[in-house]
Amino acid sequence: MSKPKLVLYSPELPCCTCYHRLFNIAFECHSADSAAGFHKKIQTLGAGAAVVCLCSAQTQRATELLQFEALSGPLPILACSKSLNPDFIQEAAKQGIDRFLVCDMEPEKISVIIHEAIRRGGLKAFLESSYPGSLSSSPHARKMIDEIVHAFPHRLREDEIARRLGISRSWLQKLCRRAFDLTFKQLLRRIWVHQALRLMQHTNLDNGEIALHLNYSEASNLARDFRKELGCTPTEARRRLLIQSPEELLR
């Protein structure tokens, strides 16, 4: 399976534990030792995820190393350090980081967290941007988005998400229609096609590997969803991604 691209910010790369144990082995890793270089690589490389690695930093220095321009956008951003404390998490969250690693975790566990971040990357932003109104005035819609993002790439059944929201299945359908002008089934198909497009854009995975990552039983089922949602095959969608974003293709 092809290696996903990873952008790494590490002020002291030779001392970076995660780089030597995992990042440079399991990923196509592009490192930067400055905030400016980190931002540039995020914008130009088409990576699947980015990591602010502070493994070599003392805990008391960690927050100092996060004082660069806040990160935003669909790319998932993770942070790794020797230890995690509430102050570090709070400061990192302000910079757009919402997933945290500890450098002495097993490499397999770190790899799983990063791959999950890549699969989920951009999903919440995509759903929130697709909602026509203010989510603050629709707690059920916000919670529905949160439940879908949390469960991804597992597929919540209609009755299961209705139960989690404390509403009936008929009310869930009304909510989907009102929020996205789609049935719940259509909304899920749109989500999976969007995430497949992002994996095409940000990784070197082929269509079969993407289907596997997104828990499709067969690659033909992924192709079926592309035909229904975009009117084209996954291969044709790849060509369109050269000039359009996943969001533009789904408009």
Per-residue pLDDT tens over the stretch 169-195 = 999 999 999 888 999 999 999 999 999
In sequence order, what DSSP letters do the residues of 111-166 get, joined into one string? HHHHHHHHHHTTHHHHHHHH-SS-GGG-HHHHHHHHHHHHHTTS---HHHHHHHHT
The mean pLDDT of the chain is: 84
Per-residue pLDDT tens over the stretch 83-97 = 777 777 777 777 777
Predicted structure pTM score? 0.68
Nearest one of 69, 79, 4, 75 to 43, comparing CA atoms: 75
* DSSP secondary structure letter of residue 45: S
C-alpha span between 98 and 77 (Å, rounded): 7
Assign residue 73 a region: left if phi > 0, alpha if psi is -120 to 50, beta otherwise?
Answer: left
C-alpha span between 160 and 158 (Å, rounded): 5
C-alpha span between 150 and 146 (Å, rounded): 6
Segments making up each domain of the chain, as ranges: 5-120, 123-249
State yes or no: pLDDT of 65 exceeds 70: no
Beta bridge partners of 102: 81
Q: Is 44 exposed, middle or buried (0-12, 13-18, 19+ CB in 10 A)?
A: exposed
3-state secondary structure of 134: coil
Q: Read off the pLDDT of each residue in 24-40 and give the average, rounded to a whole number.
A: 89
pLDDT band at 25 (very low <50, low <70, confident <90, very high): very high
User: What residue ranges in the chain does DSSP mark as E strands?
Assistant: 5-9, 28-32, 49-54, 77-81, 99-102
Q: Which of 124-128, 155-159, 217-221 has the lowest mean pLDDT?
A: 124-128
State yes or no: pLDDT of 16 exceeds 90: no
Q: Which of 94-98, 144-148, 171-175, 232-236 has the lowest mean pLDDT?
A: 94-98
pLDDT of residue 52: 87
Nearest one of 73, 161, 193 to 125, comparing CA atoms: 73
The class that CATH gives domain 5-120 is alpha beta
| CATH code for residues 123-249 | 1.10.10.60
